Structure 1
């Protein structure tokens, strides 16, 4: 019968109990970044969906409004509702309404209106030290176009 050598017995004894330690260290080293990545991507996707919905719905509201005042009221109502629904700070939404082509006034009856909504997503767990929280942001933006109703009134 073959006996193991003394050197292999010594190595076998040195390795006892290290599997649990390796599992814990390896699990923490691999699991924490994966969880952070999942949370961060979830926040970015939520903001992206909110910005996309805002641009689409504001473009529809402006295009189907009857006047500039009506369009402003509808757009503000929609932006407030979507900011609450997608948990986006209302003051972080930048909205730009412009007309495509050469319209004398924007919006005008029959013109094509473009609404662009932009926001930035703060990365989680970034401390507000030396402005890091402002630098560690991911920008999201969406544009939508709609044809303005022919019932639009200029006044």
Structure 2
């Protein structure tokens, strides 16, 4: 007992630390963890789109014909997207190739490759789509030169 204060227990706040820890965890830690998860996924998507566009352009310019080049470019996009965990993205529909000359693959010309797809936000339910976007678009661009001495 303390002098002059009456019977007061030293353990009146027992259990408050647990409640405070849970409140801080829910209010701060969970949103920060979600943000880290989301930013990691977006970084992987950006890396995949840039890599896929570069490899698609190179694969297209090294091909002997336009048809072979298109098939190689789609395969390169599929490989780059799969490497970063985006197996659900259709490589053929996400790839766009543009040539700087007609016909394509003329020596000294350029081929521009663009890869676009959408990254779905993890753990966001579809009923909040009117308030929060459910997908974030990602785009990667690259220009690959056709060898100037091609076919000589």
TM over 0.5: yes
Partners of 2:41 and 2:103 in 1: CA distance: 38
Indicate the structure whose relative CO is greater, using CA pairs within 8 Å and at least 6 residues apart: 1
Instruction: Specify whether residues 4 and 121 from structure 1 end up closer, same or farther in structure 2 by C-alpha distance, changes over 3 A only.
Output: farther
Question: Structure 2-normalised TM-score?
Answer: 0.79
Partners of 1:116 and 1:95 in 2: CA distance: 6
Instruction: Specify whether residues 21 and 130 from structure 1 end up closer, same or farther in structure 2 by C-alpha distance, changes over 3 A only.
Output: closer
- Unaligned runs of 5+ residues in structure 1 are none
* Residue 76 of structure 1: aligned partner: 74
* Contact 1:112–1:145 (8 Å) recurs in 2: yes
* Residue 89 of structure 2: aligned partner: 90
Please say if 1:112 is aligned against 2:95: no
Give the alignment's Cα RMSD to 1 decimal.
Answer: 2.7
Q: How does 1:1-155 map onto structure 2 within 5 Å? A: 15-88=13-86, 89-91=88-90, 94-100=94-100, 103-129=101-127, 135-149=133-147, 150-151=149-150
- How many residue pairs get aligned? The number is 145
Question: Structure 1-normalised TM-score?
Answer: 0.78
- Unaligned runs of 5+ residues in structure 2 are none
Deviation at 1:77, TM superposition (A): 1.7
